[in-house]
Chain A
Amino acid sequence: MVTAPASVPYERYSPEPAHWWLARVLSDLGKQSGLGADDVDGLCVSSFTLFPDTAAGLTQHFGLTPRWLDHVPTGGASGVITLRRAARAVQSGDASVVACISGDTNHVDSFRAMLTTFSRFSQDASYPYGSGGPNGSFSLMTSRYMDAYGVKREDFGKLCVAQRDNALKYPHAMMKKPLTLDEYMSARLIADPIVLYDCVMPCAGAEAYLVMREEDARAQNLPYAHILSTVERHNSYPDDPVQIRGGWALDKDEFWSMAGISPGDVDLLQTYDDYPVISAMQMEDLGFCEKGSVSEFIQSNTFTYDGTFPHNTSGGQLSVGQAGAAGGFLGLVEAIRQLTGGAEQNAVPDAQYAAVSGFGIINFDRGLCSGAAILGRT
């Protein structure tokens, strides 16, 4: 039901507009699947920097005549949520083949410009206080989370180091220099307690995949994965003074019962990782460990592609780079690759089930959108 994972190699800065990056990933999707404009009858787009266009304008630009169209503005949760929307469209017969594409450009200074106008609440109530962007909000969350649950910097460091190890085996990762825990522990502070290696590097890039019926994938000879379960939630726990849990905690029972498996069955987890604190939170709130025990969980597992708990096997955004909304697709596209034989050096052996989760839109002091999906190998 989900197929053709495509990733365009990222660039730190690009003079090209978002349109170029989306076009490029669509082109790659076509080459990979053998499908063209006449075959694709659904389009779902996620991008922050496409202004003044939306998905609608892109149909003409890309020569598509889809009978189903969506534009998903949920940032880091857009991979999972796009999947959810596209799968429902295919399931209900509104579309046969949905191209889910995401991408953003990164001009010099465009990150600052995007922070400035990211959202009304951040413009009114967060950006004026030091303009740290998500660094500021996440450092306040991280600080509170560490205090609440006894999480240590070493725990975050272990996740970051493992992701860098994974990135060394993933060809498109921007970060190619090995990272040690010592380097992490002595890294430059960005916003206490967040250090340089806790932060992603904004860059330009694009990610995409196709959603279609199983028989159509087979007819096209495309390797594919099943969608077992998806959930999404927005503005969860609005009365928590500082965010130390996410929407997954509200939805996890339904999530696992829909999938028909338990957390122990999962072979790899792709979390949304713009900061390691949010990866740790996802591990807890999706039920991979008890709330409050993530420090112990991290210390008793290894997180490389060949470890006891393979996590962000391409290196995640922390090591691949954050290409705007494509950051929300990165883990999902990597999970499809892992389950369809597309992963190479970083392949998780015998991977049957992958969990993917997303988290997005730091509107003021917290992320609003959360989602998760379970994919299974056929």
Chain B
Amino acid sequence: MTDALKRPPKKDPQKRTNSPTLPPYARSRKAIAFTLAAAEGRFALQVCAECEHVTYPAREVCPKCWSMELEWRDIPDGGKLISETTLRTSVNSYFRERMPWRIGTIQLDAGPTVLAHIHGDVGEFERVRMIARTDKSGQGVMLALPEKETPNMADDRQLRALTCNPKYRRALVTDGRTELGQRMVKALADAGATRIFVGIAEKWRPYEGSEALEAIPGVEIMPLDITDTISVNELAAEMGDKADILINTAEYVRPGSVMQRHGVTLARDEMETNYFGLMRLIQAFGPGMKARGADGDNSACAWVNLLSVYSLSNWPVYGTTSASQAAALSLSQCLRGEFAGSGVKVINVLFGPLEESWRQPLPPPKVTPQRLADTVIHALTQGIENVTLGPVAEDVVRRYKEDPFVLERELTQINQGM
């Protein structure tokens, strides 16, 4: 059974921080679809639309019927370990540093046999539950888990390498003034984060929930206003080397389309928080996190952006906010590119209308701040990079995947609330 992870010791100031090394990242274009599914936490393989044959590795054509219609579909995640080995040498530096490394052949219930990483609690010839996740190189891989939950299961080193588990890690929550920020902090504490730095802007303004926030174990209130470059840089100088997880809870949301805006002052405020704020955070905290992607059990592991689902396609009712969120989404994609090779994941949570004051008039279904906080913890513990939360967001993402241009038409037609 997996040994419980021990709290990492304080850093030895005389020891060099390991540079991140990577598992192999090269993939064919077809296999990128597997990586996408892994980033979404789905276990999907190609299925032939004509003969239903499930095929692996990724192909261009069905090897049974030569149909070109291979679709990536979620498939049953059950299987059986039929052969295994423990690698003790590797030509790749990432694995070489982590030897011995157990891998095995899994006969999937869905048909194909696959090569996979194996959780330490999986016994010889046992049944397994498969997951697909992105690895430190950002590409999709498979891991065979024990069929049933085991003690300390999340602490398995192969699983932990694919996830961003907050246990024994230190997190920065950029805005603790809101209910969302406060629920996020509490959820992190419950998930085992050892220190939670909480950004509070404009301490000269009181805020609701401050006493309860300060009472959460491990919380350290820090001055942080992401619209202020100096403030962001000062905080990064103070604790940037301890940001294992960064969760950007700051957002600026106001209803209104472009013509309802009357000038650009509000729109500029939206950009200052949603776009430039994110940029300031990336410039101040990004390089340090990127360098600490392999810094032991509490390595830097995740950057979490919370974005309105209308960052994908503009909803004119919140038109200029949507635009600033779109800018933030684009920046998060750039960040994903910049973090590639660092082992730090960029987790984007796209959510539907949140139960908070600036979206108060919107009809249900809405997402509560608690639900959003819980979802972030789930994404971290599971290592999922792309998350869609709430019925509205799920609906928008589904339409977006079907055809982003049709979605644009749907969101901008008459009677869309304008």
The interface of chain A, by Cβ under 8 A from chain B, is 111-112, 115-117, 120-121, 123-133, 135-137, 139-141, 143-144, 147, 188-194, 238, 241-242, 364-365
Contact = CB atoms under 8 A, between A and B. Distances in A.
A120 B28 contact: yes
Given A129-B117, A133-B91, A139 B24 contact: no
- Of listed B26, B31, B83, residue having the most chain A CB within 10 A: B83
What size tier do the contact residues of chain B reach? 35 or more
Contact of B26 (A116, A133, A140, A364): A116
User: Which 3 A-B residue pairings sit nearest by Cβ, starting from the closest?
Assistant: A131-B92, A139-B85, A125-B57
A130 B90 contact: yes
Contact of A124 (B58, B63, B85, B87): B58
24 contacts: A112-B92, A115-B91, A117-B26, A121-B57, A123-B24, A124-B58, A125-B31, A128-B135, A129-B103, A129-B117, A130-B90, A130-B95, A130-B103, A132-B95, A140-B83, A140-B104, A140-B105, A143-B84, A144-B82, A191-B88, A192-B86, A241-B105, A242-B105, A242-B113
A319 B279 CA distance: 59
Contacts, number: 116
A217 to B, nearest CB: 43
A143 B114 contact: no
A112 B103 CA distance: 19
Contact of A136 (B57, B103, B114): B103
A125 B92 contact: no
Contact of B89 (A115, A127, A128, A191): A191
Interface of B: 23-24, 26-28, 30-31, 34, 56-58, 63, 82-92, 94-95, 101, 103-105, 107, 113-117, 135, 137, 139, 141
B83 A144 contact: yes
B82 A112 contact: no
A342 B100 CA distance: 45
B85 A128 contact: no
B118 to A, nearest CB: 10
Contact of B28 (A123, A188, A241): A123
A131 B85 contact: no
Contacts of B24: 116, 123, 127-128, 131
A129 B57 contact: no
Contact of A128 (B83, B84, B87, B139): B139
Contacts of B139: 128
Given A131-B91, A140-B84, A365 B115 contact: yes
Contacts of A111: 91
